[in-house]
Amino acid sequence: LVFFNVRETIFSGSSENSIPGSYTVGVAVPLKHQSELQGVLMLFHRTKKELSEPERNVLEAVGNQIGVAVENARLYQKVKSMAERDALTGLYNRHKFFAVLDMELKRCQRYNTKCAVLLFDVDHFKDYNDTFGHLAGDECLRKVGNLIRQSIRETDTPARYGGEEFVVLVVEADATAAITVAERLRKRLEAEGQKEPLPTISVGIAVYPDDAQTTQDLLLTADNNLYAAKRLGRNRTVWRGLVQTD
């Protein structure tokens, strides 16, 4: 599409100032991929004239190439997201979480800060599945994932660790801060369970660098504390083998 007198045709008011110089003609080039519109490229020039057939062909070819590039970029982001995220909950998967945790530990080492790993396990999940069915079990895990998202800061990283286990990386956090986050989520799930059939969770905590200094050791320590939480009766938070309250 070619527009003459673009200031009057397309722009009005203060937006006229966004057109530099004395541009009077605008060309809208559709960006397409397989006949699907991906966007529009706007070009402006000062000469008031019709575009020649070769010029139109060039712009159409450019628009098609850009449309293909836009679609490829969109597909790449989609595939990348699928590779990084758990299909059921939409949280990061275990592999992506390891990568994020590795980067955070390097940042902590550089700036001499702390972080914490919270490892969650949905209590009696097998019994829940046996009682309500696997579809209800999937919905339960989705709800737990959503509650985790809602209970942490945007700077923290939640992930589905595997099966009915979840994990959260809490940045800039010592043991006190980590316990507060864990207990907030544990109590929230406990309260939700009073309204609808929903299991409680057990939580194990490990703090860098106080408890461990590597990714594997942090997760192992958190897992040991999680096991202690379950052994001590479930629906509780454990750090250094002791039940914690905020």
Q: Where are the domains of the chain?
A: 2-82, 94-244
* Chain centre to alpha carbon of residue 127: 30
Q: CA angle 59-62-64, nearest 5°?
A: 110
DSSP 92: B
- CB neighbours of 144 closer than 8 A, spacing ≥ 6? 89, 120, 122, 166, 189, 201
pLDDT for position 52: 78
Q: Quick one: tokens of 160? A: 């589905």
**Separation of alpha carbons 161 and 120, rounded Å:** 9
| Cα–Cα distance measured from residue 25 to residue 86, given in angstroms and rounded to the nearest whole number | 49
The token pair that represents 16 in the structure block: 């006229």
At 88 the pLDDT is: 96
Token couple for 90: 């939409």
Confidence at residue 36, expressed as pLDDT on a 0 to 100 scale = 80
Burial (CB count within 10 angstroms: exposed 0-12, middle 13-18, buried 19+), residue 77 = exposed
**What global pTM score does this model have?**
0.71
pLDDT recorded at residue 7: 47
Neighbours of 179 (CB within 10 A): 22
CATH superfamily of domain region 94-244: Reverse transcriptase/Diguanylate cyclase domain (3.30.70.270)
Digits of tens for pLDDT over the chain (246 positions)? 544 444 454 445 444 445 555 655 667 778 877 778 778 777 776 666 677 788 778 888 888 888 888 877 777 677 666 679 999 999 999 999 999 999 999 999 999 999 999 999 999 999 999 999 999 999 999 999 999 999 999 999 999 999 999 999 999 999 999 999 999 999 999 999 999 989 999 999 999 999 999 999 999 999 999 999 999 999 999 999 999 987
In angstroms, rounded to a whole number, what is the distance separating the alpha carbons of residues 192 and 200? 9
Instruction: Let me know if 164 is a catalytic residue.
Output: yes
Q: What is the residue type of 69? A: A
Q: Which helix (H) or strand (E) holds 234?
A: none
Given 164, 172, 183, 192, the catalytic residue: 164
Contacts of 184 (CB under 8 A, 6+ apart): 151, 246
